Amino acid sequence: MSWPAGYGRRVLDEVDSTMTEAARVADALAGPEWIMARRQSAARGRRGRPWRDPGGNFAATLVMRTPGGPGQAALRSFTTALALREAFAALTHAPEALALKWPNDVLVNGGKAAGILLETVGARGGSLAIGVGVNLISAPGADAVEPGAVPPVSLLAETGLRIEPEAMLDALATAFAAWEDRLVTYGFAPVRTAWLSHAARLGEVVTARLPQDRIEGIFETVDESGAIVLKTAQGRRAIAAADIFF
């Protein structure tokens, strides 16, 4: 598989966190660059939560110039999710097992196999870091996630395939570059349509947990800003940020 033109590729044996490394090097980069680590000593997920990263799993961060402000930057969670799904399908040949969970997870047979983390980094937040973690060979136990959360799974357990991190990186980088080109050329509309075609629990009741609220409703769609739209007893609600529980 060929590497996408214009993207740098850096593979480290060990680092504290690929997100932290992206922040350290962002201002010195001439263009977008993927940073992968074979082992992280201080991995983290959304809202600073610890992310277990045993050897053999996949951890990488793409650092790129912030595209078009915070709203546009946030849309990269959708292109990254679609790229991950495409990479999984290419490597496992099991597209029917894959689904996307708003806002930033990829599911395999209903379990969480990958997560995405977006942060602004560099001087004055001039770059975007897109962190990707994939449970290639092992997943945390159910006791490592919140009650009611989607259980973690690994690609090895669900598909029987042992995928090397470097193969995952090559497939993901190639797919992401294509989705990034679509977003830049055509806007969010085709990305949104593609994402919704693979959305988990679309049309079903889900619960959105916010820091000070809990909203239950039917998952109707994702709007033009990327917010999830729920049909609730009080009317339609567009929610820009929340944890979704099934």
pLDDT band at 206 (very low <50, low <70, confident <90, very high): very high
How many structural domains is the chain composed of? Answer: 2
- Residue carrying the six token digits 């820009």: 240
| pLDDT score at 14 | 93
How many CA atoms are closer than 13 Å to the CA of 119, on its beta-carbon side? 20
| pLDDT score at 44 | 63
Q: Is position 2 within any domain?
A: no
Q: What is the pTM of this model?
A: 0.93
Q: Quick check: 50 pLDDT over 60?
A: no
217 or 211: which leads in pLDDT: 217
DSSP codes of every residue in the chain? -PPPTT-EEEEES-BS-HHHHHHHHGGG-SS-EEEEES-BSS-B-GGG-B----TTSEEEEEEEE--SHHHHHHTHHHHHHHHHHHHHHHHHS-GGGEEEETTTEEEETTEEEEEEEEEEESGGG-EEEEEEEE-SS----GGGS-TTSPPB--HHHHHS----HHHHHHHHHHHHHHHHHHHHHH-HHHHHHHHHTTBTTTTSEEEEEETTEEEEEEEEEE-TTS-EEEEETTEEEEESS-EEE-
| pLDDT score at 146 | 77
Mean pLDDT of the 76-85 span: 97
Same domain, 58 and 91: yes
Q: Is position 3 within any domain?
A: no
51-74 per-position pLDDT tens digit: 566 679 999 999 999 777 777 899
| pLDDT score at 49 | 56
Same domain, 239 and 179: no
Same domain, 80 and 192: yes
| pLDDT score at 241 | 92
Mean pLDDT of the 19-32 span: 95
95-116 per-position pLDDT tens digit: 999 999 999 999 999 999 999 9
Last residue of one domain, picked from the residues 196, 216, 236 = 196
* CATH code (residue 224): 2.30.30.100
Same domain, 52 and 161: yes
Same domain, 122 and 146: yes
107-164 per-position pLDDT tens digit: 999 999 999 999 999 887 789 999 999 999 999 877 777 777 899 999 999 999 999 9
Same domain, 152 and 178: yes
* CATH code (residue 68): 3.30.930.10
The parent domain of residue 161 ranges over 8-196
Same domain, 233 and 119: no
